[in-house]
Chains A and B, each alone.
Chain A
Amino acid sequence: MKRRQLLAGTALALGLASGFGTVALADDPLRVGFVYIGPVGDQGWTFIHDQARQEAEAHFDGRIETTYVESVPYGADAERVMTQMALSGTDMIFATTFGYGPDVNAVAARFPNVAFEHATGYLQEEPNVSLYNARFYEGRAVIGHIAGRMTETNTIGYIASFPIPEVVMGINSAFLHARAVNPDVNFRVVWVYSWFDPAQEAAAAEALIEQGVDVLMQHTDSTAAIRIAQERGVLAFGQAADMSAAAPDVHLTAIINQWAPYYIERIQARLDGTWEARNTWYGIGDGMVGIAPLHERLPDDVRAEAEGMIAAISAGEYHPFTGPINRQDGSPWLAEGEIAPDGDLLGMRFFVEGMTGDVPN
């Protein structure tokens, strides 16, 4: 305990003293490292982070040098990879999954001059650890609205990965906005307990379609489900990237993870010597959550409503979780006009009123 306090104190002192400004010399490119949980060829989460890395590198045109290590598990491996990166003279490290939290903070304590950016996590114990996350639920609200308007069977299918707040929040957001425009709508949620298992996702899509689902949403990484939707003529939405190439006829739109603007902003700050730890939760308006082009098969009124909603959310005029909203058991959560506190959303483990089925636990 003593030793850790001492270390933390030293880290703080060093961090303040260095101020992150003095490191980058004029000719020396800033070294930026990325640590990925999956392979860059996963076509999903990691692939998109790596695209953003490449965009950032192109943007700075020689002023930065990026490196990455892929398929790094949490724990000892992640800690070692980040330490070695820091030892190699890396000035800034992006750790791109929530599970890296303790590892990021442990390494950050030892390298106070390295700026750490930790995606979708919550642990911020050191002065040189920033958190960043995207308000994907804003995108879910938009696709929920479209789904509610487009469904004919009033049954919408949702392929979910793990019962964690991020996923539950997305289901609730989509459901609320589908119900808002179609009071008869029902959601069928299938938990596949995996972020990435193409065969399982495909089977889940088929099972849902057999249950009369005519609009499909997913919170898993692969394009397997949307390809099944294309084949079966069921409407669907892309996840994390524009997946219209995989399903040109049924891909109504997609929620796109847009990390590049944030990466560029933060690397710029590091170059300028103005970087400091933050806790960022950006949405559509900030450009971190993108909405892919709306499919031409959407009727004009639906298209206009969707665009209106995107505009309202971007402008900060509308929050997808605005009361009155009750929990599934009927107990009140948000009063009339009340906006959900971020803390409630980040820890959400309940369905809202009207949803059927349980959040497994």
Chain B
Amino acid sequence: MLRLERRPQPSRVWVWATPVLAVCLTMIAGGILFAILGKDPVAAIRMIFWDPLFSQQFAAFSRPQLLVKAGPLILIAVGLAIGFRAGIWNIGAEGQYIIGALCAAAVALAFFPSGPADVRLFGTVLFSFDAAPSRWWLFPLTIVAGAAGGFLWAMIPAILKTRFNTNEILVSLLLVYVAEKLLAAASVGWLRNPQGAGFPGSRNLSQFPAVANPEILPGTGMHWGVAIAFVAVIFGYVLLHRHMLGFHVQLAGQAPRAARFAGVAPARLVVFCLGISGLLAGLAGMFEVTGPARMITIDFNVGYGFTAIIVAFLGRLHPVGIVLAGLLMALTYIGGELAQFMLGLPSAAIQVFQGMLLFFLLALDMLSNYRIRLAYREAA
């Protein structure tokens, strides 16, 4: 009979070995799946894991794209991880992401020059005009608006929890749906592009240089959101591992009663954890809407807030782990797209593949925290 025994310390070897093992197992299981679907399993696996990184054809473009895709995931996941360590479950980051983007877009659009920045026909710029003088403060203001939006949206579950003891998992989740409806209302209503021929969606913020969030260095995928994500990772690491507050967070998660004796105020911790994760999610929304996504649309949110929860756990709630987990998830998205149009794999197969990868990672994670022992059956 097999028995699990908790390790006093997580195993150093297995902490690194399990992700590798999980990826290998996923390749085998995924290969079987692809073979059943009539595709060449080796080619499919290579397409997903290898080509975005190393193929001559794609790598130059795909590698920077990993950062673009992983950036918001990492930024949100770092914030979530702080709360998760304290046992405070914000699963509504998707909603905070949406509200952050909405607030940022609203501020940016309030200052949008009355006409388009340049008028083009078939690629030739007919004439350009700069209605807005260089307003250097506008981009920072937009950032503040995005952060504030996410923060305040997260304050709803925080305040309800501290005031009325309402479960934050559920309130934050419910608020995702409210945020989605607000997004739809904004896209067809108050943020709609007046020159957009009536289509839902806001103006193109990337054409508004004062608020646009383009690549800092062209061709690197590095936009301000990615940069801030890495800042957040460092901040998260220092906070969790080098700061008293981080100690309190850990203590509250592992031994709530002891934390109270140590002088941790539970209410303040709730406000802090939800606030920081909401703020970072709002920032992610802001950098996305002014950068890669360019505008508010009905389907602006593509699930970063939920995927970030998975990323946080895959990264074992450790900032550095989150970076790796975020990049791995991004790789499966980008490689998955390649496999779709190069090999004709349905997107559902990629979803199943990602699901299996997560299952294996979560399942094998046990090895770093537990020892497997052979034991005789004990009398119950």
Q: Which residues of A contact B (CB under 8 A)?
A: 1, 3-5, 8-9, 11-12, 15, 33, 39-40, 67-77, 79-81, 83-85, 87-88, 90, 98-99, 102, 109, 121-122, 124-127, 162-165, 193, 277, 346-349, 360-361
B248 in contact (CB, < 8 A) = no
Binds A, one of B102-110, B292-300, B316-324: B292-300
**A277 & B122 in contact (Cβ 8 Å cutoff):** yes
- CB contacts between A and B, total, < 8 Å: 134
Q: How far is A8 from B204 in the complex, measured between Cα atoms in Å?
A: 17
- C-beta contact mask, B184-211 vs A, less than 8 Å → 1, else 0? 1000110000001111110010100100
- C-beta contact mask, B288-321 vs A, less than 8 Å → 1, else 0? 1001111101111010000000000000000000
Q: How far is A361 from B190 in the complex, measured between Cα atoms in Å?
A: 8
- The 8 Å CB contact of A122, one of B197, B295, B338, is B197
Known: A73-B302, A163-B188, A277-B122. 7 other contacts (CB 8 A): A68-B340, A76-B292, A84-B341, A87-B57, A87-B58, A122-B197, A361-B189
**B297 & A75 in contact (Cβ 8 Å cutoff):** yes
Instruction: Give the residues in chain B near A3, CB-CB below 8 Å.
Output: 218
Interface centre among B61, B197, B302, B344 (most CB of A within 10 A): B197
Instruction: Give the residues in chain A near B347, CB-CB below 8 Å.
Output: 39, 69-71
Q: How far is A102 from B346 in the complex, measured between Cα atoms in Å?
A: 26
B348 in contact (CB, < 8 A) = yes
**A75 & B293 in contact (Cβ 8 Å cutoff):** yes
Closest 7 CB pairs of A and B: A76-B292, A75-B293, A165-B198, A67-B341, A122-B197, A73-B302, A127-B122
**B123 & A8 in contact (Cβ 8 Å cutoff):** yes
**B288 & A11 in contact (Cβ 8 Å cutoff):** no
- The 8 Å CB contact of B197, one of A5, A162, A346, is A346
Instruction: Give the residues in chain B near A81, CB-CB below 8 Å.
Output: 337, 341
**A127 & B299 in contact (Cβ 8 Å cutoff):** no
Q: How far is A69 from B340 in the complex, measured between Cα atoms in Å?
A: 6
A and B contact pairs by CB, cutoff 8 A, 8 listed? A1-B209, A71-B347, A84-B61, A98-B199, A99-B299, A102-B206, A102-B295, A125-B122
Instruction: Give the residues in chain B near A122, CB-CB below 8 Å.
Output: 196-197, 199
**A74-B299 contact, Cβ under 8 Å, with A346-B197, A347-B198:** yes
- The 8 Å CB contact of A165, one of B197, B206, B334, is B197
Q: How far is A76 from B61 in the complex, measured between Cα atoms in Å?
A: 13
Interface magnitude class on chain B: 35 or more
Taking the nearest CB of chain B, how far is it from the CB of A353, in angstroms? 20
**A88 & B342 in contact (Cβ 8 Å cutoff):** yes
Instruction: Give the residues in chain B near A361, CB-CB below 8 Å.
Output: 188-189
B13 in contact (CB, < 8 A) = no
**A85-B341 contact, Cβ under 8 Å, with A1-B117, A127-B123:** yes
Instruction: Give the residues in chain B near A68, CB-CB below 8 Å.
Output: 340-341
Taking the nearest CB of chain A, how far is it from the CB of B113, in angstroms? 13
**A99 & B297 in contact (Cβ 8 Å cutoff):** yes
Q: How far is A71 from B293 in the complex, measured between Cα atoms in Å?
A: 16
**B61 & A83 in contact (Cβ 8 Å cutoff):** yes
Instruction: Give the residues in chain A near B348, CB-CB below 8 Å.
Output: 39
**A76 & B341 in contact (Cβ 8 Å cutoff):** no
Q: How far is A5 from B123 in the complex, measured between Cα atoms in Å?
A: 8
Instruction: Give the residues in chain B near A75, CB-CB below 8 Å.
Output: 288, 292-295, 297, 300, 302
Q: How far is A90 from B338 in the complex, measured between Cα atoms in Å?
A: 13
Taking the nearest CB of chain A, how far is it from the CB of B348, in angstroms? 7
Which of B85-137 touch A at CB < 8 Å?
117-118, 120-125, 128
Binds A, one of B25-33, B62-70, B165-173, B268-276: B62-70
Which of B240-299 touch A at CB < 8 Å?
288, 291-295, 297-299
Q: How far is A60 from B12 in the complex, measured between Cα atoms in Å?
A: 58
Q: How far is A163 from B348 in the complex, measured between Cα atoms in Å?
A: 31
**A109 & B199 in contact (Cβ 8 Å cutoff):** no
- C-beta contact mask, B54-84 vs A, less than 8 Å → 1, else 0? 0001100110010011000000000000000
Among residues of B, the one whose C-beta sits closest to the C-beta of A103 is B294
Among residues of B, the one whose C-beta sits closest to the C-beta of A83 is B61
**A124 & B341 in contact (Cβ 8 Å cutoff):** no
Q: How far is A124 from B123 in the complex, measured between Cα atoms in Å?
A: 9
Among residues of B, the one whose C-beta sits closest to the C-beta of A347 is B198
**B338 & A165 in contact (Cβ 8 Å cutoff):** no
- The 8 Å CB contact of B342, one of A39, A67, A102, A349, is A67
**A347 & B197 in contact (Cβ 8 Å cutoff):** yes
**A76-B340 contact, Cβ under 8 Å, with A39-B348, A88-B57:** no
Instruction: Give the residues in chain B near A99, CB-CB below 8 Å.
Output: 201, 297, 299
Interface centre among A71, A84, A90 (most CB of B within 10 A): A84
Instruction: Give the residues in chain A near B299, CB-CB below 8 Å.
Output: 73-74, 99
Taking the nearest CB of chain A, how far is it from the CB of B192, in angstroms? 8
Interface centre among B69, B125, B198, B347 (most CB of A within 10 A): B198
Q: How far is A348 from B197 in the complex, measured between Cα atoms in Å?
A: 8
Among residues of A, the one whose C-beta sits closest to the C-beta of B198 is A165
